[in-house]
């Protein structure tokens, strides 16, 4: 196992580096007959690409996707799909001074320890640029889930630093998320977040926060017992994203403040169908979907590259002072929203196909 693939039946394998020739992904196990175009995928990539606003990286990449296999007459054939986006604004020379230095909180040290060598240009595979491939693959899953199963996946910035949106996630719409550059549906808080990030950026620093994801209209029964629980696979998917340091589903850590009598989700019958009157569980029980909304929160650390001076060491084990330069996001959250969407879609798509493969007779 190399750690470059994700999924069981709907499986993706990504390739490419931050300052290499291209970033790509092979999608294997995609059902045939799904109408998909480069434009469908480009819409999601445009939400992730750098240079969108003053609070994102100024790197200029069009992230134009090329759909090179697995499609015939506009529909998937069931064979592997190859998606590729060429890098155009590479500046490896910006990293020449960092060749012999371990940047604080980057993967420089750990990649060196694991492989004995590393790509010093923008962290190579450890760069968040790799997530372009995930978003491209996730766009296919997201379209199928929405058009064929009416499953809606929406993510939004809920918190930046101490600023937290005061909004009910059941009322959030895609339009409200895309109404501002931070992708927070609470407009008043969104404006405060933007001002905070701009201040942090001018100080040469960075800041983290939380993205919330809601998955609506998931049928009950998705998920596998014990080790492949739907909740566990969602957790793995989110924790595989660069800069993610925390994941909680449903009530999460706030549930420790409740008693069982308060936390248990009572059941009832509505229109002849079983329902849950509350949803502290976050849409799964025993790792299997209940039919209620699946919702979870993902915590992102502050971006590691900052312009402030920091203590670190070099390859000769000498202590040095680093003041990094380059084109980096002061806050990764607005560009991470479509990444969370994509990883959620990949998990739900995979578990839907697994569920279909074991239907009762």
For 164-182, write each residue's pLDDT tens digit. Answer: 999 999 999 999 999 999 9
Q: Are 205 and 330 in contact (CB under 8 A)?
A: yes
User: Is residue 282 classed exposed, middle or buried when 0-12, 13-18 and 19+ CB atoms within 10 A define those classes?
Assistant: buried
Q: How many CB atoms lie within 10 A of CB 289?
A: 22
3-class DSSP state of 205: coil
- Rg, C-alpha atoms of the chain: 21
Please check the confidence at residue 56 and state whether its pLDDT lies above 90: no
3-class DSSP state of 312: strand
Among residues 40, 62, 39, the alpha carbon closest in space to that of 50 is found at: 62
Please check the confidence at residue 323 and state whether its pLDDT lies above 90: no
Q: What is the mean pLDDT of residues 210-229?
A: 97
* pLDDT band per the 50, 70, 90 thresholds, residue 49: confident
Terminal CA-CA length for the chain:
35
| 359 or 203: which leads in pLDDT | 203
Please check the confidence at residue 345 and state whether its pLDDT lies above 70: yes
Please check the confidence at residue 51 and state whether its pLDDT lies above 80: no
Please give the mean pLDDT across all residues of the chain: 93
Please check the confidence at residue 50 and state whether its pLDDT lies above 60: yes
Please check the confidence at residue 141 and state whether its pLDDT lies above 70: yes
* pLDDT band per the 50, 70, 90 thresholds, residue 119: confident
* pLDDT band per the 50, 70, 90 thresholds, residue 215: very high
Please check the confidence at residue 322 and state whether its pLDDT lies above 90: no
Q: What is the mean pLDDT of residues 289-293?
A: 98
Domain spans of the chain? 9-357
Fold of 9-357: Chorismate synthase, AroC fold (3.60.150)
Q: Each residue of 224-250: pLDDT tens digit?
A: 999 999 999 999 999 999 999 999 999
pLDDT given for residue 238 in this prediction: 98
The conformation of residue 314, written as its DSSP 8-state character, comes to: B
pLDDT given for residue 85 in this prediction: 94
Q: How many CB atoms lie within 10 A of CB 8?
A: 14
Q: What is the mean pLDDT of residues 291-315?
A: 94
Phi/psi at 286 (5° precision): 65, 20
**Would you state the structure tokens that stand for residue 330, as one six-digit string?**
């002061």
Please check the confidence at residue 1 and state whether its pLDDT lies above 70: no
pLDDT given for residue 20 in this prediction: 85
What's the predicted TM-score (pTM) here? 0.95
Please check the confidence at residue 7 and state whether its pLDDT lies above 80: yes
Report the greatest alpha carbon distance in the chain. 71
**Would you state the structure tokens that stand for residue 207, as one six-digit string?**
């800041």
| Residue pointed to by tokens 């998990």 | 347
pLDDT given for residue 303 in this prediction: 92
Q: Each residue of 27-36: pLDDT tens digit?
A: 999 999 999 9
User: Is residue 270 classed exposed, middle or buried when 0-12, 13-18 and 19+ CB atoms within 10 A define those classes?
Assistant: exposed
Q: Are strands 284-285 and 273-276 parallel, antiparallel or unpaired?
A: unpaired
pLDDT given for residue 54 in this prediction: 76
| 61 or 256: which leads in pLDDT | 256
């Amino acid at each position: 196992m190399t750690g470059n693939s994700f999924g069981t039946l709907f499986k993706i394998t990504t390739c490419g580096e931050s300052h290499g020739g291209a970033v790509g992904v092979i999608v294997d196990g995609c059902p045939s007959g799904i109408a998909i175009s480069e434009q469908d995928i480009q819409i999601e990539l445009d939400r992730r690409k750098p240079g969108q606003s003053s609070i994102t990286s100024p790197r200029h990449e069009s992230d134009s996707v090329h759909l090179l296999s697995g499609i015939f007459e506009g529909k998937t054939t069931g064979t592997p799909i190859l998606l590729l986006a060429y890098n155009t604004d590479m500046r490896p020379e910006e990293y020449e001074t960092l060749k012999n230095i371990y940047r604080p909180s980057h993967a420089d040290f750990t990649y060196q320890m694991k492989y004995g060598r590393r790509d010093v240009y923008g962290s190579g595979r450890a760069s968040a640029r790799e997530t372009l491939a995930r978003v491209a693959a996730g766009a296919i899953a997201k379209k199928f889930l929405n058009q064929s199963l009416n499953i809606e996946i929406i993510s939004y910035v809920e918190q930046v630093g101490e600023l937290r949106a005061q909004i009910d996630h059941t009322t959030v719409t895609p339009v409200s998320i895309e109404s501002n550059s931070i992708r927070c549906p609470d407009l008043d808080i969104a404006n405060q977040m933007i001002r905070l990030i701009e201040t942090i950026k001018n100080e040469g620093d960075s800041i983290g926060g939380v993205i919330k994801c809601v998955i609506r209209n998931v049928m009950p029964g998705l998920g596998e017992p014990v080790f492949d629980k739907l909740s566990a696979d969602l957790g793995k998917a989110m924790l595989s994203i660069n800069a993610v340091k925390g994941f909680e589903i449903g009530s999460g850590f706030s549930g420790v403040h409740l008693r069982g009598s308060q936390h248990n989700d009572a059941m009832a019958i509505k229109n002849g169908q079983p329902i849950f009157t509350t949803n502290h569980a976050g849409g799964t029980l025993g790792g299997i979907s209940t039919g209620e909304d699946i919702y979870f929160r993902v915590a992102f650390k502050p971006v590691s590259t900052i312009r402030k001076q920091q203590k670190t060491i070099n390859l000769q084990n000498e202590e040095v002072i680093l003041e990094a330069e380059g084109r980096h996001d002061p806050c990764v959250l607005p560009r991470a929203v479509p990444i969370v969407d994509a990883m959620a879609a990949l998990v739900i798509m995979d578990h839907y196909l697994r569920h279909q493969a074991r239907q009762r007779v």
